[in-house]
Amino acid sequence: MATRERRNYYRINYPLALEYHQVDMETILSSDSPQQFNVSPYFTLQLHLAELETEFIQLNNKVSETQPQLAAGLELLNRKIELIGKTLVSGDMEVDDAHIVDANLSESGMAFLANEAFEPKSLLALKLVFPSDSIGLLVYAEVVRCEAVGERFEIAVNYLKMPERCRSILARTIIRAQMRQRRIEQLDLDDDDLRH
């Protein structure tokens, strides 16, 4: 993908827990999702539920046109399932503050600070955990830039072979983060108004 195209994706600074392992191309070609991390079945539960959520919304919109009460009931059931899913995965998504990094995130890639350098074109398996959204992703990536920042290194990567469902979840996570940021900014503006 051209650099100009990659920049069309919205980027946001976002706190997340990150683990990574260097891998080779043979590993990436043999699997759509990294297997290098010890995760429970609950780790990807929210990802699967979110994928079903997209289908549910489309179908429920059609139902609501002719049977609004049924659609409201189905929406209530959907919210209950979402709550159960978040409760089940909450243990897998809890991370210590010391393991949180402030990543610069987009749908096409991310940048983060690391203690070690990687050569451009190095291949990585990434485990991303978004504690505030109770979502975890396992993805492959290629290093496109590595620059020294003090005693650490800023690593920029592009995702490889990312399944569409992962990309959709990532896009939704970024949009939610934008909305939260706008609400915080709006609250700050309201506070300023109150002080005058």
pLDDT digits (tens, 9 = 90+) for 166-196: 888 888 888 887 887 788 877 766 555 544 4
pTM for the full model?
A: 0.73
Cβ neighbors of 55 (< 8 A, separation 6 or more) are: none
Most confident of 17-26, 29-38, 89-98: 17-26
Predicted confidence band of residue 125 (pLDDT cuts 50, 70, 90):
very high
Look at residue 162 and tell me whether its pLDDT is greater than 50. Answer: yes
Structural domains of the chain in order of their starting residue, each with its CATH number: 3-49+83-195 (2.40.10.220)
- Looking at residue 2, its pLDDT comes to 42
- Looking at residue 7, its pLDDT comes to 52
Q: What is the mean pLDDT of the chain?
A: 81
